[in-house]
Structure 1
Amino acid sequence: MSTPASGIESRDFEPGTVWLVGAGPGDPGLLTLHALRALEAADVILHDALVSPEILALARPAAQLEAVGKRAGRPSAAQLRINARLIVLARQGLRVVRLKGGDPMLFGRGGEEALALAAAGIAFRIVPGISAGVGGLASIALPATHRGVGRSIAFATGHATAEGDPDWPAMARAADTLVLYMARGRMAGIAAGLMAGGRAADEPVAFVSDATTPRQRVRITTLAEAGAVAAAIPPEAATLVVVGRVVALRDAIAPWLQTPPAGRLPVAAPVAAPIVAAVSGTA
């Protein structure tokens, strides 16, 4: 295999293996070099809905792209079907990338896919990515931790599961700063639970939508008003919620934050019309 444009050797991406790759929070400049190498070498890329077109354009022109994204309220690929597809492709002797927004092992179901691959005897590699819960905060000059203000942080999902909701009153006491994924649609109830657990009604809350992309938008409010603000955010906007006193620090930092040019790619890469397929099924 030839050396890709990044100048990094890709010969260790063997045929018949799967790489679980984190695409970062959205900005293609935040890809790791290992992630870029995987895109340049893959035969097939199964990607999430949140992976930007600019990142997909870094795939080698001959790569087949398959959309397997999960979006709330929309038809989605069932996880078991995705697991099976990875196994089938690897057994065909292909180099397979499972490309996920953020980090594959943080609310990315990477663990489920790794278990499925291991059970099938398929060799795989995990390529960490910058989590939206870290990169998204940094992109808006919001420190996740800060001495004397926020000394601990907890990541949680607001998505309802068969096991039930998180214990929000207990979560209120878990850490100084809470970063919530998939919480926008249920924010009124989450805020009530956090206040029942002792969080102040006037505690600052930040909503960060489409972090690190040209569509990024920030909304600052209080815990008491969080439900109303969340209801006004378009459902298609991928949104993080940050609860904690660190949010108040942003006003002093953000005016001096330099914003990188929107959509700038980390390397020059041809933009090819991909072969697009979709894995259908219910979530």
Structure 2
Amino acid sequence: MSEGENSGGDDEQPSDIGTVSLVGSGPGDPDLLTVKAAELIESADVVLHDKLPGPEILGRIPEEKREDVGKRAGGEWTPQEYTNRRLVELAREGKSVVRLKGGDPFVFGRGGEEAEHLAEAGIPFEVVPGVTSAIAGPAVAGIPVTHRDHASSVSFVTGHEDPTKEESAVDWDALAATGGTIVVLMGVGKLPAYTAELRDAGLDGDTPVALVERATWPDMRVATGTLDTIVDVRDEAGIEPPAITVIGDVAAPRDRVVEFLENDERRGDGA
């Protein structure tokens, strides 16, 4: 869907202007790319990528057409303003550009901001959804985010808000009262803060919690505990970003599901 083709911007656009595709790469396993995402990555002149697309996906893209514009908590980073400007520059050079993001481009990925910028600049663009890690991460760890017996609702929360905000926009009291499953993305560093807030809001300290690090990547790890113990579990296991936190009763049956999946002899035989 070319949402930016007639959206204002510069009236002096060149006739051979290129296009931008805001593409979700899914949780990282190349087999979980959508068909359209794989085709666009293959045909693009330039791929501007985050740190979160899996190493196998990035490894398939020729170095000469890759540009790393990723960010890491507490580490190297590329200003969002630079990425916005670079997308417009490349399109105005007539390039076919893929802006490759982990998960889905519009789920805590700042894809909405990039879409607005492209529309304002009059750059043709499309959005290619991806499998969000908020669902895929727990799933590959054997955790359904909803379950008939355990959770009829799920809330997706960012654990890494805009640092310029004067106060958090996340209402942990309301989340604790709502029940269901809470999935926190980019929240490993602030785990002590929000688990404490949830306990203070009345959520039982025995509530199951799982941490899924690098979901679907070759070095994926999972650590489990409770609201009371998960910070110590994180520290002992050395869980680091990127990781997803799953809070709720859905995390409890994980061991049974994983044991079955690992022991099912039919897996890999087309069953």
TM-score normalised by length of structure 2: 0.86
Which segment is superposed worse, 227-236 or 171-180? Answer: 227-236
- Structure 1, gaps ≥5 residues long: 1-13, 260-283
Q: Which has the higher contact order (CA 8 A, sep 6+)?
A: 1
Q: Give 2:32's aligned amino acid.
A: L
- Does the 8 Å contact 1:188/1:228 carry over to 2? no
Q: 1:66-122 deviations in whole A, cap 9, x for unaligned?
A: 001110001200111100000000000000000001110001100000000000000
Q: 1:45-81 deviations in whole A, cap 9, x for unaligned?
A: 000112223212333x485100011100012001111
* SS of structure 2 residue aligned to 1:173: helix
- Structure 2, gaps ≥5 residues long: 1-15, 264-271
Q: What is the total number of aligned residue pairs between the two structures?
A: 245
* SS of structure 2 residue aligned to 1:200: coil
The equivalent of 1:257 in structure 2 is 261
The yes-or-no answer on 1:179 pairing with 2:183 is yes
In the alignment, the residues of structure 2 paired with residue 184 and residue 232 of structure 1 have an alpha-carbon distance, to the nearest angstrom, of: 13
The equivalent of 2:230 in structure 1 is 226
Q: Give 2:159's aligned amino acid.
A: G
Aligned counterparts, 1:172-251, within 5 A: 172-232=176-236, 234=238, 236-251=240-255
User: How big is the shift at 1:233?
Assistant: 5.2
Q: 1:133-179 deviations in whole A, cap 9, x for unaligned?
A: 11111111111100021100000011143222222222222340000
The equivalent of 1:26 in structure 2 is 28
The equivalent of 2:47 in structure 1 is 45
* SS of structure 2 residue aligned to 1:77: coil
In the alignment, the residues of structure 2 paired with residue 44 and residue 172 of structure 1 have an alpha-carbon distance, to the nearest angstrom, of: 44
Aligned counterparts, 1:1-283, within 5 A: 16-59=18-61, 61=62, 64-161=65-162, 162-163=164-165, 164-165=167-168, 166-232=170-236, 234=238, 236-258=240-262
- Does the 8 Å contact 1:184/1:231 carry over to 2? no
Cα distance change on mapping 1:137 and 1:15 into 2, 3 Å: farther
- Does the 8 Å contact 2:188/2:240 carry over to 1? no
In the alignment, the residues of structure 2 paired with residue 237 and residue 192 of structure 1 have an alpha-carbon distance, to the nearest angstrom, of: 20
Question: How large is the RMSD of aligned CA atoms in angstroms?
Answer: 1.8
Residue identity (%): 46
Q: 1:151-209 deviations in whole A, cap 9, x for unaligned?
A: 00000011143222222222222340000011111111101111122210000000000
Cα distance change on mapping 1:233 and 1:112 into 2, 3 Å: farther
Q: Give 1:45's aligned amino acid.
A: V
* SS of structure 1 residue aligned to 2:116: helix
In the alignment, the residues of structure 2 paired with residue 46 and residue 62 of structure 1 have an alpha-carbon distance, to the nearest angstrom, of: 11
Cα distance change on mapping 1:98 and 1:232 into 2, 3 Å: farther
- Does the 8 Å contact 1:185/1:230 carry over to 2? no
Cα distance change on mapping 1:82 and 1:257 into 2, 3 Å: same
In the alignment, the residues of structure 1 paired with residue 107 and residue 221 of structure 2 have an alpha-carbon distance, to the nearest angstrom, of: 23
Which segment is superposed worse, 250-259 or 238-247? Answer: 250-259
Which segment is superposed worse, 93-102 or 232-241? Answer: 232-241
In the alignment, the residues of structure 1 paired with residue 253 and residue 33 of structure 2 have an alpha-carbon distance, to the nearest angstrom, of: 27
TM-score normalised by length of structure 1: 0.82
- Does the 8 Å contact 2:208/2:251 carry over to 1? yes
- Does the 8 Å contact 2:188/2:241 carry over to 1? no
- Does the 8 Å contact 1:22/1:100 carry over to 2? yes
Cα distance change on mapping 1:125 and 1:171 into 2, 3 Å: same
